């Protein structure tokens, strides 16, 4: 169940990252940060292949799920703490009449965590299905998951609509 929520959370983040950057930074900075995000998704995704493979090969499911939980929790904290720092800096900016980039380093940390969490989560999902239901049923079960996932992802559209109505 947690992996489904994490999947929805990651899909929501990746589909709104450009708008989030535009909300907190100038258009030029937002475009640059979105380009960095696109590069980091690929680069970090490649870099974590071996550690994720080692984790899945050598550790029990409970440890793997614990690592996924820890990475996703850290990602969530960084993403949700970022607007707080932005608000604090905005108060400073308004008194000093200057424009600052809101905690860009923290945003880059969230990009790296996202880029590591995504392949880890999807590999952990496949590994969990294989270990729990044995690999001779894997194709059927993974097909059912692949069928249900887009249906569940429709909640993401509702989340986006709510976000844009509240923060527009």
Q: How confident is the model at residue 78 (pLDDT cuts 50, 70, 90)?
A: confident
What local confidence, expressed as pLDDT, does residue 39 receive?
Answer: 93
Percent of the chain with pLDDT over 90: 21
Higher-pLDDT residue of 14 and 34 is 34
In SS3 terms, the chain reads as: CHHHHHHHHHHHHHHHHHHHHHHHCCHHHHHHHHHHHHHHHHHHHHHCHHHHHHHHHHCCHHHHHHHHHHHHHHHHHHHHHHHHHHHHHHHHHHHHCCCCCCCHHHHHHHHHHHHHHHHHHHHHHHHHHHHHHCHHHHHHHHHHHHHHHHHHHHHHHHHHHHHHHHHC
Most confident of 11-25, 29-43, 152-166: 29-43
What local confidence, expressed as pLDDT, does residue 122 receive?
Answer: 87
pLDDT at 101 over 70: no
Higher-pLDDT residue of 136 and 90 is 136
The overall average pLDDT reported for the chain is 78
pLDDT at 23 over 80: no
Q: How confident is the model at residue 18 (pLDDT cuts 50, 70, 90)?
A: confident
What local confidence, expressed as pLDDT, does residue 83 receive?
Answer: 55
């Amino acid at each position: 169940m947690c992996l489904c929520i994490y999947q929805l959370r990651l899909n929501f983040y990746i589909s709104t990252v450009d708008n989030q950057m535009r909300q907190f930074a100038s258009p030029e900075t937002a475009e640059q940060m979105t380009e960095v995000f696109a590069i980091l998704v690929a680069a970090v995704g490649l870099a974590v292949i071996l550690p994720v493979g080692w984790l899945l090969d050598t550790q029990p499911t409970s440890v793997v799920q614990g690592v996924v939980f820890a990475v996703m929790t850290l990602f969530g904290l960084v993403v949700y703490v970022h607007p707080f720092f932005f608000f604090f800096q905005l108060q400073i900016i308004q008194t000093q009449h200057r424009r600052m980039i809101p905690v860009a380093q923290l945003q880059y940390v969230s990009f790296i965590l996202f880029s590591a969490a995504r392949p880890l989560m999807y590999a952990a999902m496949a590994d969990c299905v294989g270990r729990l239901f044995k690999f001779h049923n894997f194709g059927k079960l993974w097909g059912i998951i692949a069928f249900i996932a887009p249906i569940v992802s429709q909640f993401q559209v509702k989340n986006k609509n709510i976000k844009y109505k509240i923060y527009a």
